[in-house]
Amino acid sequence: MDKLTNTFDFNTYGKKVFDFIDKYFKSIEGYPVIAQVNPGDIAKQLPAQPPLAPDSMEDILRDFEDIIIPGITHWNHPMFMAMFNSTSTGPGILAEALTAALNANGFLWMGSPSLTELENVVLKWFGMLVGVPGDYFGIIYDSASTSTMHAIAAARELVLNKYDFKHEGFPSGTNLKLRIYCSEFAHSSVDKGAMVLGVGLNNVIKIKTDKNLSMIPDELEKAIKQDREKGYVPFCVVATAGTTSFTSIDPIDAIGSICSSENIWLHIDGAYGGSSAILEEMKYIFKGIEKADSVVINPHKWFFNPTDISLFYTKKPEVLKDAFSIVPEYLKTNNEEAVNLMDYGFQLGRRFRALKLWFTIRYYGVENLKGIIREHISLAKMFEKLIVDSNEFELIAPVPFSTVCFRYNPGNMNEEQLNSINKKIMDNLNKSGKIYLSHTKLKEKYVIRLVVAGFYQKQEHIMKAWKLIKETVSNL
Ligand SMILES: *Cc1c(COP(=O)(O)O)cnc(C)c1O
**Residue 441 β-bridge partners:** 446
Q: Which residues of 411-420 are buried (b: 16+ CB within 10 A; e: fewer)?
A: eeeeeeebbe
Nearest CA to ligand 1 atom 15: 244
Instruction: Specify the DSSP class assigned to residue 397.
Output: S
Q: Which residue, 161, 162, 163, 196, is CA-closest to 180?
A: 196
Pocket test for ligand 1, best of 214, 301, 440 (most atoms within 8 A of CB): 301
Closest ligand 1 atom to Cα of 270: 13
Contacts of 20 (CB under 8 A, 6+ apart): 61, 65
- Phi, psi for residue 238 in degrees, rounded to 5: -110, 120
Q: Which protein residues are within 6 Å of ligand 1, measured from CB?
A: 84, 143-145, 187, 189, 240, 242-244, 269, 271-272, 298, 310
Residue 172's pLDDT is what?
A: 85
Distance 433 CA to ligand 1 centre (A): 25
Closest ligand 1 atom to Cα of 301: 1
Contacts of 36 (CB under 8 A, 6+ apart): 70, 433
Backbone region of residue 200 per phi and psi (left: phi > 0; alpha: psi in -120 to 50; beta: other values):
left
State CA 378 to chain mean position distance: 22
Closest ligand 1 atom to Cα of 147: 9
Residue 4's pLDDT is what?
A: 79
Residue 327's pLDDT is what?
A: 81
Closest ligand 1 atom to Cα of 240: 13
Closest ligand 1 atom to Cα of 242: 13
Distance 22 CA to ligand 1 centre (A): 29
CB atoms within 10 A of CB 275: 27
Element (H, E) at 60: helix 57-63
Contacts of 408 (CB under 8 A, 6+ apart): 392, 393, 394, 418, 421, 422, 425, 448, 473
Distance 464 CA to ligand 1 centre (A): 28
Distance from C-alpha of 60 to C-alpha of 63, rounded to nearest angstrom: 5
pLDDT tens, residue by residue, 37-90? 999 999 999 999 999 999 999 999 999 999 999 999 999 999 999 999 899 999
Digits of tens for pLDDT over the chain (476 positions)?
467 777 899 999 999 999 999 999 999 999 999 999 999 999 999 999 999 999 999 999 999 999 999 999 999 999 999 999 899 999 999 999 999 999 999 999 999 999 999 999 999 999 999 999 999 999 999 999 999 999 999 999 999 999 999 999 998 877 899 999 999 999 999 999 999 999 999 999 999 999 999 999 999 999 999 999 999 999 999 999 999 999 999 999 999 999 999 999 999 999 999 999 999 999 999 999 999 999 999 999 999 999 999 999 999 999 999 999 988 888 787 777 889 999 999 999 999 999 999 999 999 999 999 999 999 999 999 999 999 999 999 999 999 999 999 999 999 999 999 999 999 999 999 999 999 999 999 999 999 999 999 999 999 999 999 999 999 999 98
| pTM across the whole model | 0.97
Determine the Cα angle at 393 with ends 391 and 395, to 5°.
115
Distance 192 CA to ligand 1 centre (A): 12
Distance 188 CA to ligand 1 centre (A): 8
